[in-house]
Structure 1
Amino acid sequence: MRSANDREPAESADESSNAPVLAAIDLLGQRWMLRVVWELEPGPLGFLELRRRMGNCSSSMLSNRLQQLQAAGLLEKLGPKGSYELTIAGIRLGEALQPLWDWSEIWTDRPHDFRWP
């Protein structure tokens, strides 16, 4: 695993394309991106149901995020007016994020307790 000291900071989006992890962070760090992955992890959802689960995410923002995730190969739309589902790459992303989700459950229970299990 590389450390932060092994590379120079990226100065532009073009330079981050040379570091796949930076490209992933740039994509997934945008508001609502990981929430979409989270909501689709259990299985396909239609736009309206996904929008309902996303709380205060506007329809236009959700549509934009779905398009970006499709372009990145992380989800696909089933049919012209169908549901959205994660691709194999999206499923693998969810698996990669599982330790973060596990950590967050402990953190929300005891954010200031440094004696973790």
Structure 2
Amino acid sequence: MVDPTPQDQLEQDLAQAQDLGRWLSDDERLERQRAEQQALTDKQQQDQHRLKLVALAIVCVVIPPLWPLAFGITLHLLFPKTFGRLLWVAGGSAVVLGVLTVGVGLAIATCLWMLIQSWI
């Protein structure tokens, strides 16, 4: 991006001062510039991430066994926050189900071991 000329910069500063009703200090101006730069960087990263996901979704659509993955990516692209929450719920449910399965399996194994020991 090309730096504005001093005249353009003065006009921008004047317009900003009129909008805010006061002149910004140098620190405030630098902070605003940093925030704008950070927002621009975040937007570019988000756009790049989105492009990668779209490309992956297209590849998954072309390969039939990967259609469920393509469906998941499409949901993520359309509803990122909702899909993220859904993944957290699904992951938590999987952990709870795994712990319950191991617990029940250990309980059954213990009962069988006790029965075998009582028969011996």
When normalised by structure 2's length, the TM-score is: 0.28
Which structure shows the bigger proportion of residues in helix conformation?
Answer: 2
Query: Does 1 or 2 have the higher relative contact order (CA < 8 Å, sep 6+)?
Result: 1
When normalised by structure 1's length, the TM-score is: 0.29
Which structure shows the bigger proportion of residues in strand conformation?
Answer: 1
